[in-house]
Amino acid sequence: MKRALTQTYSLWLRDMKHIVRQPGRMLSYIGQPLLVWLFLGAGFRNSFESGADMTYSEYLYPGILILVSLFSAIFSTISIIEDRKSGFLQGVLAAPVPRSVVALSKVLSGTTLGLGQAVIFLLLIPVAGLQATFASALLALAVLFIIGMTFTNIGFAVSWKLNSTQGFHAVMNMLLMPLWLLSGAFFPPDKAAGWMQWIVKLNPLYYMNSLFADTLYAGSSAAHAGPGIALSLGVTLAAFVLLTTNSIRVART
């Protein structure tokens, strides 16, 4: 066990150093969601009705944080393709290192990056006048860690099977944007057409976004209408377990 933990830490540390040396990529992961939040929050400020005492910026904020985490966590797994091309991945797989360790280190490094950038985004709470407490922000970060790790597993599974960075970007964009747009982060589902409400309810990210918003705004007047914490937590944990198990299975093939 100790050896596996040491190996996981070593591979995680290598990935983190590699990521830190690419500040442009890191800034792009947080810059685009930040602009989306600022422009949409200002644009829909006087025309948004959610049925709760909140502005559109407050409503959109949890979803933007998830978007930051998803972009960072999933696209960081593109390093698997880069490591394969450089020969590093083949060297690690030939060494006496369990493939599950390789999977865990990649997932943890992507999740760490996403969480770190989400913390930077959380610093905007007092600046933007959002209604969230320090305790609720910490709890929300714990939820965001689970969400980020869940979706980093998707990036790992896809990048493990692909050899092209262009193909990886195409597949992940095709998966990510519909999931996020139909997660209830962009608009209240109960205001949408009936058929779209059903699609939203079938989207696991809808429950993750709801759980994150419920924890972030816990105890404040910015109530978030959603499916409820119990159901949201259940779906989030189920997705986390299934996708983590799948990553380990994929790494062993």
In contact, 131 and 217? CB cutoff 8 Å: yes
Q: What are phi and psi of 176, to 5 degrees?
A: -70, -55
Per-residue confidence (pLDDT) for residue 251, from 0 to 100? 63
pLDDT in tens, 48-68: 765 556 778 888 888 888 888
Q: Which residue has the higher pLDDT, 224 or 124?
A: 124
pLDDT in tens, 166-175: 888 888 888 8
Mean pLDDT of all residues in 111-122:
84
pTM for the model: 0.81
In contact, 23 and 116? CB cutoff 8 Å: no
Per-residue confidence (pLDDT) for residue 50, from 0 to 100? 59
Residue 159 predicted with pLDDT over 70:
yes
Residue 32 predicted with pLDDT over 60:
yes
From first CA to last CA, the distance across the chain in angstroms is 22
- What does each C-alpha distance from 23 to 75, 117, 193, 205, 226 come to in angstroms? 14, 12, 41, 28, 36
State percent of the chain over pLDDT 90: 0
Residue 222 predicted with pLDDT over 70:
no
CA-closest candidate to residue 183, choices 156, 212, 158, 155 = 212
Per-residue confidence (pLDDT) for residue 71, from 0 to 100? 78
In contact, 106 and 148? CB cutoff 8 Å: no
Give the span between the Cα atoms of 157 and 92, in whole angstroms: 18
Q: Which residue has the higher pLDDT, 12 or 191?
A: 12
52 residue type, one letter:
A
Per-residue confidence (pLDDT) for residue 91, from 0 to 100? 82
pLDDT in tens, 66-96: 888 877 777 778 888 888 888 887 787 777 7
Residue 128 predicted with pLDDT over 70:
no
Mean pLDDT of all residues in 194-204:
86
Residue 231 predicted with pLDDT over 60:
yes
- The alpha carbons of the chain give a radius of gyration, in whole angstroms, of 19
